[in-house]
A = this chain, B = another copy of it.
Amino acid sequence: MAAITTTRFPTSLHSNSKGISKNRATISSTFRIRCSNAQSPVTLTFTNEPQPVFSSVKAFAPATVANLGPGFDFLGCAVDGIGDTVSIRVDPNVHPGEISISEISPNISKLSKNPLWNCAGIAAIEAMKMLGIRSVGLSLSLYKGLPLGSGLGSSAASAAAAAVAVNELFGKRLTVDDLVLASLKSEEKVSGYHADNVAPSIMGGFVLISNYEPLELLRLKFPSEKELFFVLVTPEFEAPTKKMRAALPLEIGMPHHVWNCSQAGALVASVLNGDVVGLGKALSSDKIVEPRRAPLIPGMDAVKKAAIEAGAFGCTISGAGPTAVAITDDEQKGHLIAKQMIQAFHKEGNLKASANVKQLDRVGARLISSDHL
């Protein structure tokens, strides 16, 4: 690596340090120059700057269902088997401390290859900043498994996979909170400072965000012996997050506030008790957000009705839509429910739709392969 001489660790690299939890390795503001070999160029290593432990890694982050009805803006959960994948490799052709995006697959014109304007890029840069990476350049490949703007946490999955990949490459020094904060930087640019997708995508299971300043995340453990399936039906329809947010009421009457609060409490209790029927009932009970958003998604009311009639325990809009999410405790039943929901989208909304029947993801974003140095 090329010799670098500076006298201070650039403070700009610490721009996000306020929110970083204290229990990760402190990034020192001093550095030392080490001559590793008299013949080789002078190599600079910052005190505590982690070095890559792999030459490349690949990480997967699952899709997520945010809101879950009355859990609007503070609750989400991860869904197994669908998500985004990010590969990151040490790249001597990239300027040390920087990252470049080498590939996005499939090639989606909406997605920028400029890392400052790409969900995965932004989160990766944040993770690098947190780690204090200055002497290694990286290149990133993003494999989109999730459709954009579908309400399945597509941008969050890209960010989560990227943050986790960077962290794995450098020996896992960041905490879960750090990874969520790094990914939040990305969400902030795309859809607002909400962690209800990135937190469950990183942590798996159900996550309640109880505070942002400081970040406080509550894992809600769904009992391991219980079955829970999500029927995710995505119509071919664009429901931009901004438009869906603009549909929300600014003020909420006290009776509806109390109702939704009680249902949020019931939702949390159902998750912790593994009560899928109660979970479905609470999920279906939102009187504030869903009634405003459902009319913007053609056929949604009929889709919900069809899901319940087909035996789903509950149904609502996933995230900001247009995906409809229903829940059940049986995979086969899930497929039957999906069929009815697809038909309802077609019949009442004149929309084609596709379905996924997936289990709860209990793991969250993870390393799926690595190449040693």
A residues touching B (Cβ–Cβ < 8 Å)? Answer: 70-75, 208-210, 218, 220, 248-254, 257-258, 260-269, 272-273, 278, 282, 288
Q: Given A251-B254, A252-B254, A262-B264, 17 other A-B contacts at CB below 8 A? A: A72-B258, A73-B262, A74-B258, A74-B265, A75-B262, A208-B262, A210-B265, A210-B282, A218-B278, A248-B254, A251-B253, A252-B252, A252-B257, A261-B261, A268-B268, A268-B272, A272-B272
One complex includes copies of this chain to the number of 2
Cα–Cα, bound, A251→B73 (Å):
19
Q: Are A208 and B252 in contact (CB under 8 A)?
A: no
Which residues does chain B contribute within 8 Å of A209, judged by CB atoms? 262
Partner of A257, one of B220, B266, B272, B288: B288
- Could you say which of A71, A72, A263, A266 has the most chain B C-beta atoms within 10 Å of its C-beta? A266
Cα–Cα, bound, A249→B75 (Å):
25
22 example contacts (A-B, Cβ-Cβ < 8 A) are as follows: A71-B261, A71-B265, A72-B258, A73-B258, A74-B258, A74-B265, A75-B262, A208-B266, A210-B265, A210-B282, A218-B265, A248-B254, A250-B253, A251-B251, A251-B253, A260-B261, A262-B264, A265-B265, A265-B267, A266-B268, A268-B272, A272-B273
In the complex formed, the residue of B with least CB distance to A219 is B269
Partner of A261, one of B70, B249, B251, B278: B70
A199 to chain B, nearest CB (A): 12
